[in-house]
Amino acid sequence: EMQVLESGGGLVQPGGSLRLSCEASGFTFNYYAMTWVRQAPGKGLEWVSYISGSGDSAYYADSVRGRFTISRDNSENTLYLQMNSLRAEDTAIYYCAKDILVRGGFCMDVWGKGTTVTVSS
């Protein structure tokens, strides 16, 4: 069974940093692009960042570009999101998700349960 499991969320002060992890299992990790999506309390989905299967290409939402860095360790089947200069508006559930197709489709078919990030003093 294909699964992804996020970890690393928590309470952090404004301006602080946090590193999220996402462990994948049940599929050939390096074949698939991976994505981070977040959802603020009571709000809709917001795409955050995408990384290709090889890790050579990465893209970011305007709201996080320059503050967040996506990366992956294909030898460990793990995706990361390094979040710096955190703001209150970054408070959300952060989901890790796998791309549906090997060739890339910018669509996610396997989602984790999410990890909660709260930015507050």
Residues lying near another protein in the complex (CB under 8 A): 35, 37, 44-47, 50, 59-62, 95, 100-101, 105-109, 111-114
Min dist CB 46 to another protein, Å, is 7
- The secondary structure of the chain in percent helix, strand, coil, rounded to multiples of 5, reads 5, 50, 45
Nearer to another protein, 5 or 74 (CB): 5
Using the minimum distance from each CB to another protein, give the nearer residue, 56 or 62: 62
**Amino acid (1-letter code) at residue 5:** L
The two tokens of residue 21 are 């992890």
To another protein, the closest distance from the beta carbon of 19 in angstroms equals 21
**Residue 6 burial (C-beta neighbours within 10 Å; 0-12, 13-18, 19+):** buried
Nearer to another protein, 37 or 81 (CB): 37
- Which one, 13 or 57, has the nearer CB to another protein? 57
How far apart CA 92 and CA 106 sit, in angstroms, is 21
For the bound state, the minimum distance from the C-beta of residue 64 to another protein, rounded and expressed in Å, comes to: 11
What is the nearest approach in angstroms of another protein to the Cβ of residue 56?
Answer: 13
81, 36 in Cβ contact below 8 A? yes
